[in-house]
Amino acid sequence: MSTAKKFAGQTAIYGLSTIVQRLLSSLLTPLYTHVYLPKVYSIFSTMFAYASIFQAFLAFGMETTFFRYLNKFADKKKQVYNNGFWVIFTVSIGFLLLTIPFTHTLAGLIKIGKDIPQNEFELYIKYFIAILVLDAWCVIPFAKIRADGRPVKYGVIKVINIVVTVLLNVIFIIVIPYWLKHNLYGWRWISHWYVHGWVAYAFLSNLVASAVTLLLLLPELFELELKFDKVMFRQMLIYSGPILIANLSYLVNENLDKILLGKLLPVNISEHEVGVYSACARLSIFASLFNQAFRMGAEPFFFSHAKNKNAGYTYSRIMDYFVITMCVMFLGVVANIEILKYYVNNRAFWVGLDVVPPLLFGYVALGVYMNLSVWYKLSDQTRYGLYISCIGAIATIILNVIFIPKYSYMASAWTSLIAYTIMMVLSYIWGQKNYPIPYNLKKNLAYIISSVILVYLSFYVFNRNIFIGNALLLLFGTTALFFEWKNLKAIFNR
């Protein structure tokens, strides 16, 4: 099997499973926005923003480290697996000891607005602590499945996780209220414990799904041994340290805007603004989805292909088609925004649709950065990932703090774009100096700039007209196909 076919096949499977997961999870956004007002929806975005940051800390950069060391020590796969898991397990136990006794203090720090009682936030935090720990224990077993070349099993377990989450949400938010309203069998017993409109049911659903996922990974967990390779263990920690900080910095870029909106805006509007911004940001799910699916297939492939003579050429070609695909998605979402806005199933949220174009372009820049980041991972120079991510995080913090009080969530959207663009540019410049890869810079820039121009015309000049927007999308796609036809034909022939 050719390397291109292997990469495309695995990415397609990961992509399909990711699409199914996201499509199922996407059902929750119209459900939540239909049932809850923006100020209530802000609770979800705030809690998940904090959870994402802590999740990166608990993973400790071990996923990328695991792949790197499997490639580096092909004869010591068992030791790599053991070391990776027990690092995360130890960190998670420490996390439990440092958080459970202080949930009251944490609730005071996290809580936004004035409508939700302190004790409610304490309960939310306890649910999330449990979710984070269970998910952390799944990181290395999932990485092992990917490294073993079993994308189908990976996808099935991930889909089961989201199916359980969605089903429980539907049961708690729709089925049980209907059951009680019509006094169906057992309604008296249900009424004793069910709290109507309680947002914590969403968190409880996630907790149950995480527990189910851990149970499905028991075969991988039973392969673990209580053994350490001390030399390798130290090396893995040194390698993963910069990745951990880089991942934390990346998640600061992704989530700090929602946290800062809740803290920097006046109390009387903060919940509403956070809710509007978070819901409209969900419309960029398609670009985010492709980035995630690509990373699932690309990371193991990049490491396994690194020793091939034509590796640089392969990475360059992958970048070409990645850029085109991201630009098509960028244009496609903006062109059809008047339809896609119904995904946020409440007109009260639509006031924030202007955040979509800058957020989408931010994901284009992020995707390119993820592609470019292969150089410092393969050359064991992960400190550069640390530098780049920290610079992006600093830009995110400074720009949000300066501009949120005046421009609210629009400042957050444009800050996200600027931060990811800075990271993309820095990674390219440093990468070409330290680990040159022959990327087609002029061609990729031409595609990106032309897509930005067409998005500007579609969204702002032609006022989101769906027919003109899709005509511009067709123009871009046809032009790209014309210029890439010879290369694509050669790939298909092979």
Residue 122 CA to residue 344 CA, distance in Å, equals 28
pLDDT exceeds 70 at position 305:
no
The radius of gyration computed from the CA coordinates of the chain, to the nearest angstrom, equals 23
Type of residue numbered 176: I
C-alpha 47/C-alpha 183 separation (Å) is 34
Distance between CA atoms of residues 2 and 440, nearest Å: 22
Dihedral, 153, 158, 161, 162 alpha carbons, nearest 10: -140
- Alpha-helical (H) ranges within 435-465 are 441-456
Six-digit token string for 16: 């399909």
CA 444 vs. chain centroid, Å, equals: 24
Nearest residue to 352 (alpha-carbon basis) of 21, 27, 24, 41: 41
Short-list 121, 133, 135, CA closest to 43: 121
Task: Give the confidence band of 386 by pLDDT, cuts at 50, 70, 90.
Answer: confident
**For residue 12, what pLDDT is reported?**
60
Reference 361, options 334, 339, 389, 399; nearest CA is 334
| Confidence bin at 169 (pLDDT 50/70/90) | very high
Is 401's pLDDT higher than 90? yes
If we measure between CA atoms, which residue out of 459, 489, 485, 54 comes closest to residue 259? Answer: 54
Over the chain, what is the mean pLDDT? 86
Q: Print the domain residue range for 344.
A: 3-493
pLDDT tens digit sequence for 191-247: 888 988 888 898 999 999 999 999 999 999 999 988 778 888 888 888 888 778 777
User: How many domains would you assign to the chain?
Assistant: 1
